[in-house]
């Protein structure tokens, strides 16, 4: 029983790590785009 729970927790932790990586990547590209646009507008 506890083994199943730990498996589930590990799976959730892994998906959360992937989500964090994807989110930080998206945030970086967004910041770059905004910086590029603001430079163009000036």
pLDDT at position 41 is 84
DSSP state of 10: H
pLDDT at position 31 is 95
Q: What are the structure tokens assigned to 42, written together? A: 């000036």
Domain residues for the domain of 28 are: 1-42
Q: What is the pLDDT of residues 1-42, one digit of tens each?
A: 688 989 999 999 999 999 999 999 999 999 999 999 899 887
Give kind and range of the element (H or E) at residue 37.
helix 2-41
C-alpha to C-alpha distance for 42 and 37, rounded to whole angstroms:
9
* pTM for this model (two decimals): 0.60
For the chain, what is the domain count? 1
């Amino acid at each position: 029983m506890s083994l199943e729970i730990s498996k589930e927790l590990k799976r959730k932790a892994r998906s959360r790590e992937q989500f964090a990586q994807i989110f930080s990547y998206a945030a970086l590209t967004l910041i770059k785009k905004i910086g590029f646009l603001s430079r163009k507008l000036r």
